[in-house]
Structure 1
Amino acid sequence: MTALEFTYHIGKVSKSLRPFALRLTKDAEDANDLLQDTLLKAFTNRDKYTDGTNLKAWLYTIMKNTFITNYQRMIRKNTFIDTTDNLHYINSTESSTDNLAYSSFAQEDIARAVNNLDDTYRTPFMMHFRGFKYHEIAAKLDIPIGTVKNRIHIARKELKSKLHVYAHFNS
């Protein structure tokens, strides 16, 4: 198929792509962008199209994959898109406040988890947490420094598993 024929066939099929793009994006401007990206990819990858196959299905596949890739990229970046006319949300971050309720729940959970540790692990862990060096803890508890390091490691591991619900929060 020549470039001119390819362009002609894509022009005929592209009208049916817009409704699909609207269903995927739920926004007219995003649908136009998706359609444009799809057609651009189709033209740049024209050599990958096999004559005699379903051009419409090929374009729908390109569009779907482009949408999925863009969506995953947006989720990974975890971006916030401010759709207000005056960018109110973007400009209001300096004046936003937290009520610290979440923080107090987290602190209570952490305290409970630490208190539930066996004394063997909690004591060296808390000493290290308060700023004692490994050799100071070893001397004070009269145990080898390797044992101190191991007990602190085990305490951290247990706390990490008990407090896994907080792993994705940045506080």
Structure 2
Amino acid sequence: MTTMQFNDRLLGLQDKLLYFALSLTANDEDARDLLQETILKALTYRKQFTANTNFKAWVFTIMKNTFINNYRRNQKTRNTFDGNEDAAGGL
């Protein structure tokens, strides 16, 4: 697949990706951020895409994994902050 074909296929999925992002985030701004991050990652790692495999599934997996990683990062940050707040309140 050429770079032009890759880009065209990726842009062709943009509306479906946004819909999927909205279903994951339930927030328009977060969904657009997730879409942007997914497209950037797909472009960055396009050489890792295996030809003659399911391109749509590959991109949607990038989005799902990006969402999960962001969620875990946010939960870890929130738990760390909450823990520090509790420790300070107990002094």
Determine the structure 2 residue equivalent to 1:24.
24
Determine the structure 2 residue equivalent to 1:56.
56
Aligned length: 82
Give, as a single letter, the amino acid of the residue that structure 2 aligns with 1:66. Answer: T
Determine the structure 2 residue equivalent to 1:14.
14
User: TM-score under structure 2 normalisation?
Assistant: 0.85
The gaps in structure 1 that reach 5 residues or longer are 80-168
Quote the Cα distance in structure 2 between the aligned partners of 1:56 and 1:27. 23
| Identity rate, percent | 48
What's the CA shift for 1:16?
0.7
SS at match of 1:73: helix
SS at match of 2:76: helix
What's the CA shift for 1:39?
0.4
Alignment of 1:79-118 (within 5 A): none
Quote the Cα distance in structure 1 between the aligned partners of 2:41 and 2:22. 18
The structure with the greater share of residues assigned to helix is 2
SS at match of 1:78: helix
Cα distance per residue 1:17-56 (max 9 Å; x no partner): 1111001011000000000000000000000001111111
Determine the structure 2 residue equivalent to 1:74.
74
Give, as a single letter, the amino acid of the residue that structure 1 aligns with 2:14. Answer: S
- Of structures 1 and 2, the larger Rg is shown by 1
Quote the Cα distance in structure 2 between the aligned partners of 1:43 and 1:32. 17
User: TM-score under structure 1 normalisation?
Assistant: 0.46
What's the CA shift for 1:5?
0.8
Quote the Cα distance in structure 2 between the aligned partners of 1:14 and 1:32. 10
Quote the Cα distance in structure 1 between the aligned partners of 2:49 and 2:14. 16
SS at match of 2:65: helix
| Cα-Cα RMSD | 1.2
Quote the Cα distance in structure 2 between the aligned partners of 1:24 and 1:39. 16
Give, as a single letter, the amino acid of the residue that structure 1 aligns with 2:29. Answer: E
Determine the structure 2 residue equivalent to 1:33.
33
Give, as a single letter, the amino acid of the residue that structure 1 aligns with 2:49. Answer: Y
The gaps in structure 2 that reach 5 residues or longer are 80-85
